[in-house]
Structure 1
């Protein structure tokens, strides 16, 4: 393939990736879009041209049945550094930037911008916009080249340099070597051994012949390779009808050669015992994958969503739950919260006293009012020491 052909393929990839290119018109109140994705694509390309990163700041469902969401500058909110290495601070700091647009999605699905703030409290960098995380993108051609070179035994560094040469320089790429390395790591997970995918499917078919209520879905990628797998037996589906008000969801890594996250849906029966309500093997732990899994599980359960779902503090899970289970109460797992107590307060001079009191508040409060009363007393007593200790 000649260099000219490579550029043409890259150009076509870019056209496919930009669903709604920015046409030079700034966002304004009253603009309408056919969907939330279209509005997001528009603001993404506007941000790229202006030279700032963007992110979804918030979204919620109103009492009127409409969906409200806010897209804004990635430097919104106050920045708090968690880095322990002072020589490597986070390069993208938050400045409480107010630039954003507020939009409302009607019951029919159309989106209307209700208000816009265009001014930023920091400098914009149009020439560096391609380095922002939200703008990094690997097109189909680049992905294919990376995969083929990796299968040929070419290491990631040389693999990436070959793409730089074809593109006539680093400035013509919308991704870096780390993005290539992350993609290769993900692809390697999907390379099941010879016959493994067929073995999984044969097993599922055999289970479905034994019981027609056995449910499974195999998600394939663009190259028809097995990407994600979900299954639930008849017992799990029947149990959900009785004990599906509250579920927990978590991902744990299995010690197998594929290193794929195992994702179980778990409920509690009337004996206080944990019951399995479905499970999956995933290729990734991003919003897109979780959204696919939640929709698949919901379809398996006849479209009946839980009243509440408990997870860890994973942002990708949170985003997917807002999309698939908008009316469910989303709560964080108490075990994950308490596990962070030593990390957050371990260096405090009164750590042992705080830990004992906190455990009493969390595990020995018999009512909401009891918890609130104990919590306020603890915060009132230790607040000054915690903030300045």
Structure 2
């Protein structure tokens, strides 16, 4: 178009009606800036998905499914990403408040839930500890702070233990601001408070000096041991080049650390390994301590009756016990000159096994009615189950029963019969499930309602009516409306609601009276009144 001004007016002097650019596809007009929109329902769905860390591309897939296809979406992936950014900006300023509200909600639903905050002099939260209601049993505990969160860079410290079936369980969790003695003391004191003031029998941690000092001050009667996994992992991480450049060193290291039976054997083999691989100048190898015999320290019942292994062990522990029992068929033994001492070894030491040929010493004491057994391998002290070496001697001396004190109390079948305090169910999962079911149903209806104007208007009216009825129903349940107003009256005359159960009950009573040849009391009075 060309225009020209003449006498204060604009005059069109040339006009070309043909388009000089490609037209936008006719089925995507909704993506024009003026046509883009996002419903409140879709925003609510995005909030839910964002709270569960669902990726934006997956959100688009879900939203397009609800809309009936990608082409039906009146916005792009970038618009969803921008909305998520706004949400995260709001959340970042109130995340601690939301965490507190979440814990309060959990506490209201389940009074056994425990949580605790630690604040600094400016009343800012430093540390958080929480414990689930199902974590009120006391076993050996592992405490680990090697986990780090991505966003806040806060050490995550879980308390992990062992159940009566040999499975790991989570006792409690904490987010901590640092790894100092004071912080660890606060965490351990919070854990003790959450567990009713009872200290763990044993606690296993990594090699952390501050953690060790805090345990000594907080859990004075608790046995503290270092975790072999962390010790070995730290050794590998600090000596990557050393292990890579010395062929056979990793296998030798695992054999010496994992299979040494005594302190003397470990020190001899360790010194020999250092000499063979010329590691005299390696500071870490020269400082590494002996960590083989870390006891499990289980409670032992001293006065309960002796029972058969099939009757006393639960299923999971029984399978481990049977593995040790089957291994006795591969063992040979010899009684030593010292009274009550036996030497046990494998009949044929398999070549494919990397550990050296070894003989295990089993010491017994059967004097004065005693039934004491111990093995140099220390399996019972670590795992709470008798080793194959002791079982071999029990078989050879024709012992018909395992001494009761070698059956750890929590391994017993009667563990299942303990009446635990019923914990209030967490309805959060049920709420989410109901929401998802209703959302799917609502999406189906709205898809049909969007096809025609009258269908949409009908649905809107029904939604409004259902919303009012729901409000009244919930208010009635919460006793927020007067008791004399019944639910049926409150719902209004829009639809008659006959009392099916009442009619059914009256019919049943009428048949009963007819079978007896009589009439109901109310009917008798009515008949008398009519006759009068």
| TM class, shorter-length | 0.3 to 0.5
Higher strand share: 1
TM-score, length-normalised on structure 1?
Answer: 0.44
TM-score, length-normalised on structure 2?
Answer: 0.33
The structure with the largest alpha-carbon Rg is 2
Higher helix share: 2
